[in-house]
Amino acid sequence: MDLQKFKGRKILLGVCSSIAAYKAVDLASTLVKAGAEVRVIMTKNASKIISERVFATVSRNAVCVDMWERIDDWKPEHVSLAQFAELFIVAPATANTIGNFANGLAPDMLSSTYLATKAKVLIAPAMNDAMYSHPAVQKNIETLKSFGVSFVEPEDGMLACGTCGKGRLAGLDLILSRAAELL
């Protein structure tokens, strides 16, 4: 894969509370090494799985978690991050976040930023196979697709919960390839 397409690009990475959050570190690191400017938003529960310091270190930028964190200027953070992004990648994306996005709900920084952005959006779901195949989740995915949101389908295989099925976060190369196409 030619990573040159990411040089000088502005990427916003949303990280949700899936055990696959550790894989998003490689995604952020690869994008930065390719020359992209990467900003990261984590859900509060994602920060319980993996430290925001890890993402701050690999992205070389502060990580946003809370809507009500103290900010240094007058700009609401969710709006300035939404305006920053050329591409908004959410990987891993949980059923909860997909549902919030599809239904216009904004209970957290990630969902509020999604509603405020005009950037292209790429979602890479990761969750239990039964959750992924649930009609409500599939309906939310179809709704988002009708809004122009792009998806990278999860992979089949052994899941962290011990079941086997479709729900594993797509591989890094596939996510990067799809992101490059969108840019």
The pLDDT tens digits for 79-126 are: 888 788 999 999 999 999 999 999 999 999 999 999 999 999 999 999
Mean pLDDT in residue range 68-80: 67
64 labelled catalytic = no
pLDDT at 162: 81
Mean pLDDT in residue range 53-69: 89
What the chain holds in terms of domains, given with CATH numbers, is 3-182 (3.40.50.1950)
Closest by CA position to 3, among listed 182, 177, 171, 174 = 177
* Spatial CB neighbours of 147, under 8 Å, sequence gap ≥ 6: none
Structure tokens given for 21? 């959050």
The pLDDT tens digits for 5-34 are: 999 999 999 999 999 999 999 999 999 999
Of the two residues 172 and 161, the one the predictor is more confident about is: 172
pTM for the structure as a whole: 0.94
Within 10 angstroms of residue 92's Cβ, the number of other Cβ atoms is 30
The pLDDT tens digits for 134-166 are: 999 999 999 999 999 999 999 888 778 788 878
Average pLDDT in the chain: 92
Do 115 and 103 contact (CB within 8 A), yes or no? no
Choose, from 16, 64, 161, 164, the residue flagged as catalytic. Answer: 161
**H/E stretch holding 140:** helix 135-146
